[in-house]
């Protein structure tokens, strides 16, 4: 069974929650991994770490078709009607009436508090399930230890009985050494 990324990497749940919060609330819904890295951790040099988080958690994050931008799956489902400068939803007519540079300032709206809470609960549940799966994957350890103890115990009893039987059936041979006679 493939090891869950929630267990494979220390603090992965915290990373996923941080990314959900940031990608869910920032005014632009998609950015490059480097830009998200700077937004999430304050360090664009951690881009590799965040790219790994995004790639290993497709249940939450998606790369654009050209592979350059990352967004939150749920946020991609929202219409592009959010004015990033005025921080408000605009009508389709207002959006369509803008020139190209004005339309570039329209994004998908941020997630609501309840949507963020739901995604964080999903991440927590997936982490908990990964922990449970790991524990269930070890069900055989106590059974194996019990069987091994029994085999060793029976082996010890058998060995003891065999040695005792051998000792009872074979007389002890005592070799007497006669004193040597001295020749004068």
CB 72 within 8 A of CB 58: no
Q: For residues 148 and 65, give the distance between their C-alpha atoms in angstroms, rounded to a whole number.
A: 54
Closest CA to 21 of 83, 125, 112: 112
User: What was the pLDDT predicted at 153?
Assistant: 75
Domain coordinates in residue numbering, the chain: 5-133
The structure tokens listed for 45 are 């040099």
> For the whole prediction, is pTM greater than 0.85?
no
Lowest mean pLDDT of 110-114, 118-122, 162-166, name the range.
162-166
78 pLDDT exceeds 60? yes
């Amino acid at each position: 069974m493939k090891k869950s990324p929630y267990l494979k990497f220390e603090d992965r749940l915290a990373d996923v929650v941080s990314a959900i919060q940031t990608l869910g609330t920032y005014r632009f819904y998609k950015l490059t991994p480097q830009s998200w890295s700077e937004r999430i951790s304050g360090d664009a040099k951690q881009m590799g770490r965040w790219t790994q988080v995004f790639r290993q958690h497709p249940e939450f994050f998606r790369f654009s078709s050209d592979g350059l931008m990352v967004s939150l799956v749920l946020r991609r489902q929202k219409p592009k009607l959010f004015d990033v400068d005025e921080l408000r939803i605009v009508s389709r007519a207002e959006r369509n009436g803008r020139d190209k540079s004005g339309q570039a300032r329209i994004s998908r709206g941020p997630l609501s508090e309840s949507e963020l809470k739901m995604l964080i609960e999903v991440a927590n549940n997936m982490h908990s399930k990964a922990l449970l799966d790991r524990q269930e994957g070890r069900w055989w350890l106590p059974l194996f230890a019990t069987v091994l103890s029994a085999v060793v115990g029976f082996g010890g009893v058998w060995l003891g009985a065999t040695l005792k039987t051998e000792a009872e059936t074979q007389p002890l041979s005592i070799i007497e050494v006669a004193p040597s006679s001295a020749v004068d």
